[in-house]
Amino acid sequence: MVNRSVRPKNIRNLRRLNSAAPSAVPLAKLVGKPDPAKKKPVNPIIGPVIDLDDTKGLFSSFTFRKLIKSSVTLHVAAYGPMVDFGTQVMGSGLMRNPLFKKAVLGVTERTFYEHFCAGKNLEKARETVERLWDAGLYAMLDYGLEHAHDSESCDKNLEEFIHTINFARVLHGSPVSYVAVKITAICPPTLLRRVSDLLRWEYKDNSLHLPWKRNTFPIFATSSPLYHTPQRPAPLTPDEERDLSSGYERLRKICENAIEANIPVLIDAEDTSIQPAIDYFTYSAAIEYSSSSDDDPVIYNTVQAYLKDSKDRLVIAKEAADSMGVPVGFKLVRGAYMSTENGWADLLGVKSPIHDSIQDTHDCYNECADFLIEEIAGGSGSVVLATHNVESGKMAASKAVSLGIEKDSPYLQFAQLYGMAEALSFGLKNAGFRVSKYLPFGPVEHIMPYLLRRAEENRGLLSTSSLDRFLMRKELMRRLTCKGS
């Protein structure tokens, strides 16, 4: 990350000047938002900002052996029945047999785990982080924690998050851009569901008093799905209020360590049954830590563009943050809980909150990206565009350049999962943009169920590896026919 000095607080929306960074944005570009009436028309298509044809440049950091292994792994992972088979095996009673379990985990570790994960622990992850850094990419560290179900597991997970932040802090050159945090790991999902129900009912009936509620941004829009809470929920019990306070206190400790380490925190999204409580936690923490000495976002919330209300919620939260002078960041993704959301909707007999077509989701993602990029160009906002979609990446990069945003700006970053969308990652990096790879790490047994769920929920995601597979084959042929190249 860039060296971050304190920005003047007496000028609203003024970006901090960073004389140590060669890509620092000129002061004239950072003061205030431009008058829309004076805004020049923008043509987002200004030329090929990203070059995906130069396979030599895209895969220059790949050895011949790694190219072959990556190509084979992606071909196997893109085969749908493999996901079904892996899910069945991991969930079968055979995994209770120690020998069978050891054999399955051993094969998994040497194949898919090695390709898509950073390692069993932080020391192993360090090697992956350093390889990425040498290749010009940043790392987002994500310890593969499961949902917590009691205070003891929440406290243990808190220790892991703080350990990860402190580990990232001491790495030479600051190769870690963000640390990912799951609210479900520091506050039980059952309590988050109760809090979400109460927040939904408060939105329906503003006479409802929530004595435990902290200051936050608007969480819902008129288009938000509220069907999860058909009846007025009971108030939180004293024990639930205590547990809620403990959960928030854990997030505070994470934020305080992140501020000290100068590494922002990315809050992962969940399904709509508990997402309101996660938004509440995130925005409350953003407000509380807005007066920190480093006046950039401490915390980034995740917006899932496959939800019909995502653009509305993004805009109202950003406007509320601006009106309060609170820096808040956003990570924009397409979404990871399609089967869960559709299952909830079918069970309750309502229309799904997810867009009706994949094209609608693409359009929503691009609209949200446009909005956030324009905010950055106007001197306000920070975004991580997490996408494997090449067209979205190209459009966002072109728009940023057309609006005069520095390619190396710390306020606009791209991200892809480790082991996937390699061509897009290196294409963006070679064009001069900041790019991170999302790095899950942890014991094989611990992290594989998490990865299998992600694969199950994102069946279409693995099919997007077709471009990588094509370009990898092309580069392999080039190397075979061009000796010494």
Q: Report CA torsion sign: 19, 23, 24, 26.
A: positive
**Is residue 342 within 8 Å of 369, Cβ to Cβ?**
no
What pLDDT is recorded for position 302? 97
The pair of structure tokens assigned to 102 is: 């050891």
Name which of 288, 282, 290, 248 is nearest 265 in CA terms: 282
Q: Report CA torsion sign: 339, 345, 346, 351.
A: negative
Give the span between the Cα atoms of 389 and 366, in whole angstroms. Answer: 10
Give the span between the Cα atoms of 169 and 161, in whole angstroms. Answer: 12
What pLDDT is recorded for position 12? 33
300 SS3 class: strand
Provide the angle, in degrees to the nearest 10, between the axes of the packed helices 238-261 and 275-288.
50
Give the span between the Cα atoms of 138 and 129, in whole angstroms. Answer: 7
Torsion of CA 331, 335, 436, 56, to 10 degrees: -140
| Concatenated DSSP letters of 175-217 | -EEEEEE-GGGTS-HHHHHHHHHHHHHHHH-TT---TTPPP--
**Is residue 413 within 8 Å of 329, Cβ to Cβ?**
no
What pLDDT is recorded for position 48? 56
Tell me the H-state helices in 40-150: 55-58, 64-77, 80-91, 98-108, 114-116, 122-134
**Is residue 170 within 8 Å of 131, Cβ to Cβ?**
no
Greatest Cα pair distance, the chain, in angstroms, is: 75
Helix (H) or strand (E) holding 303: strand 299-304
One digit per residue, the tens of pLDDT, for the chain of length 485 reads 433 333 333 323 333 333 333 333 332 333 333 343 334 344 444 445 789 999 999 999 999 999 998 888 887 777 667 667 777 777 677 778 888 888 877 877 777 888 889 988 999 999 999 999 999 999 999 998 878 889 999 999 999 999 999 999 988 878 999 999 999 999 999 999 999 999 999 999 989 999 999 999 999 999 999 999 999 999 999 999 999 999 999 999 999 999 999 999 999 999 999 999 999 999 999 999 987 545 689 999 999 999 999 999 999 999 999 999 999 999 999 988 888 899 889 988 899 999 999 999 999 999 999 999 999 999 889 999 999 999 999 999 999 999 999 999 999 999 999 998 999 999 999 999 999 999 999 988 778 766 666 555 455 555 567 888 899 999 999 999 886 55
Q: Specify burial of residue 206 (Cβ count, 10 A radius: 0-12, 13-18, 19+).
A: exposed
Strands (E), 349-476: 382-386, 412-417, 434-441
Give the span between the Cα atoms of 365 and 388, in whole angstroms. Answer: 12
**Is residue 332 within 8 Å of 395, Cβ to Cβ?**
no
The pair of structure tokens assigned to 60 is: 């220059």
Work out the number of other CB atoms within 10 angstroms of the CB of residue 282.
26
Name which of 135, 168, 174, 176 is nearest 428 in CA terms: 135
Identify the residue whose tokens are 């506050």. 187
